[in-house]
């Protein structure tokens, strides 16, 4: 993996997928900024990385609420002052909310869209300003298979994730001249809790034979941000164990 000494920002990296992504980059020698709203979780991730003897990279925690534009600007300014460059941005931070469309308030809609979608644009724009000064970079946006399929009462979340897919290809075109690749990853069921508690039927409904793990997404981020993979941009990589390819009939 040729990410050694790269500077990487991972939003929402205090837990779950974001934490796994941050730890994976640090494992291969990157300097990772843990951009996280939860101070306790963000600090814990940074400490876990810095205390691992087998990790060749490093981590630095910076508190940020990605729904606040000023926080995003302060984050990127800190990155520029501390490291002088930015190579990779992983837009992972997001919130979910299930509520009937009859009851969903405008304030809740705005909170979900501002956190999940607007932040991706703002983080990407501010990151790109730094990346273009150093010959380019790579941006990964975490979308979801829910951008293309839904359960009831997920309108705000689905809209935010669908917007990320459209924003990804738009940014790929706009930022291409600055040698910045922009891609999206759409995870399916990625278990971030107690994996051992999953049922056999949970695994068997996946063509892959198992439910996904955060490390599955982390490895995909590494792949898409390899310098030699600069021909991949504007793409969506679906990582769902094959679930969205499976036809389901009621017997």
> What tens digit of pLDDT does each residue of 124-170 get?
999 999 999 999 999 999 999 999 999 999 999 999 999 999 999 99
Specify the DSSP element, H or E, that contains 58.
Answer: strand 58-63
**Distance, CA of 69 to CA of 60 (rounded, Å):** 21
CB burial string 166-184: b at 16+ within 10 A, e below? ebbbebbeebeeeebbbbb
Distances (CA, A) of 36 to 11, 40, 125, 237: 6, 9, 18, 24
Q: What is the pLDDT of residues 208-249, one digit of tens each?
A: 999 999 999 999 999 999 999 999 999 999 999 999 999 888
**Distance, CA of 182 to CA of 5 (rounded, Å):** 20
Distances (CA, A) of 110 to 67, 166, 169: 10, 18, 23
Average pLDDT over residues 29-42: 98
Q: What is the DSSP letter of 98?
A: -
**Distance, CA of 64 to CA of 86 (rounded, Å):** 17
85 CB burial (10 A radius; 0-12, 13-18, 19+): middle
**Distance, CA of 134 to CA of 120 (rounded, Å):** 21
Q: Is the pLDDT of residue 1 over 90?
A: no
Q: Is the pLDDT of residue 8 over 80?
A: yes
**Distance, CA of 17 to CA of 177 (rounded, Å):** 30
For 7-245, the fitting CATH number among 3.40.50.720, 3.40.50.620, 3.40.50.2000, 3.40.50.10320 is 3.40.50.720
Phi, psi of 131 (to 5 degrees): -60, -40
Active site residues: 157
Q: In this prediction, what percent of the chain has a pLDDT beyond 90?
A: 95
**Would you say the pTM of this structure is higher than 0.85?**
yes
């Amino acid at each position: 993996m040729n990410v050694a000494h790269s500077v990487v920002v991972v939003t929402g990296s205090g837990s779950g997928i974001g934490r796994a992504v941050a730890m994976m980059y640090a494992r291969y020698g990157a300097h990772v900024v843990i951009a996280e709203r939860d101070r306790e979780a963000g600090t814990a991730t940074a400490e876990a990385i810095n205390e691992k003897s087998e990790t060749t990279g490093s981590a630095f925690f910076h508190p940020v609420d990605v729904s606040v534009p000023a926080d995003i600007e302060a984050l990127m300014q800190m990155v520029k002052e501390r490291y002088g460059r930015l190579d990779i941005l992983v837009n992972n931070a997001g919130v979910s909310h299930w509520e009937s469309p009859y009851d969903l308030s405008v304030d809740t809609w705005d909170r979900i869209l501002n956190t999940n979608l607007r932040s991706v644009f703002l983080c990407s724009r501010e990151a790109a300003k730094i990346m273009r000064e150093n010959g380019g970079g790579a941006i990964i946006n975490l979308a979801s298979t829910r951008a293309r399929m839904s359960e009831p009462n997920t309108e705000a979340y689905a809209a935010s994730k669908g917007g990320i897919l459209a924003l990804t290809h738009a940014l790929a075109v706009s930022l291409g001249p600055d040698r910045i690749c922009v891609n999206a990853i759409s995870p399916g069921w990625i278990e971030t809790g107690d994996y051992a508690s999953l049922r056999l039927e949970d695994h068997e409904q996946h063509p892959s034979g198992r439910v996904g793990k955060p490390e599955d997404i982390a490895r995909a981020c590494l792949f898409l941000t390899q310098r030699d993979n600069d021909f991949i941009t504007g793409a969506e990589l679906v990582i769902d164990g094959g679930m969205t390819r499976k036809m389901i009939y009621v017997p």
